[in-house]
Amino acid sequence: MDIGADYIGGDLIKFFNSIEDKNFIFSVDDFFLIRDVNIELLDFIEKEINDVGRFSLTDQVSNKPHTIIKEHNGFNVIEMSQHAEYRKSAVWSMWSKDYFLKYFKDNMNLWQWELDTTCQGDNHTVIGTTGKYVVQSCHLYKQGKLKSDWYKDSESSDTMFDTDRTVISNMLSI
């Protein structure tokens, strides 16, 4: 039973504690994909996920303080600074279950969880890429309200294809 956004922490804790997986991909339902998933890069990330708290599947880490930890043909793997904001994020990421659950509380919503800074300096590794990403997505809602730029990539200047934008506009009746 859904008891509201302010209690999603408890719902997520209960769900993820009930599964055996040690790693999983998580995002929220208002981050629509605007391009195909880069399966080749996702396969690479799955091999690199060892001892990583979070691997951002978008460009979200690239616009935060970071260092390059591996250079590859066409992209770099980067590590987010220990003191950067949004080390925890509901944007598309592959997570270690232990790290994802470490900072959630039963009565915490996603916004509170993302803004909670107790993860800064915790020595867990948060990584991402520059130059190439697994997914590109748009963010439809912010704190319950449809964003005016809902069709734009949440981190870059790219936008949803026009035909997709029309379909979503019709779904949302806007």
**Residue 49 scores a pLDDT above 70:** no
Give the model confidence (pLDDT) of 56-84 as tens digits: 999 999 989 999 999 988 899 999 999 99
pLDDT for the residue 64: 94
Give pTM, 2 decimals.
Answer: 0.87
State the residue range of the domain holding 47: 5-172
**Residue 7 scores a pLDDT above 90:** no
Of 91, 79, 143, 108, nearest to 12 by C-alpha is 108
What are the φ/ψ torsions at residue 125 (nearest 5 degrees)? Answer: -95, 125
Neighbouring C-beta atoms of residue 72, cutoff 10 Å: 12
- Give the mean pLDDT of 98-115: 91
141: buried, middle or exposed (CB in 10 Å: 19+, 13-18, 0-12)? middle
User: Can you count the helices (H) and strands (E) in the chain?
Assistant: 5, 10
d(CA 34, CA 152) in angstroms, rounded, equals: 9
163 vs 7: which has the higher pLDDT? 163
pLDDT band at 8 (very low <50, low <70, confident <90, very high): confident
Number of structural domains in the chain: 1
Helix (H) or strand (E) holding 41, with range, is helix 39-48
Determine what percent of the chain is predicted with pLDDT higher than 70: 97
pLDDT band at 88 (very low <50, low <70, confident <90, very high): very high
Give the model confidence (pLDDT) of 112-158 as tens digits: 999 999 999 999 999 999 999 999 999 888 878 889 999 998 777 88
pLDDT for the residue 3: 66
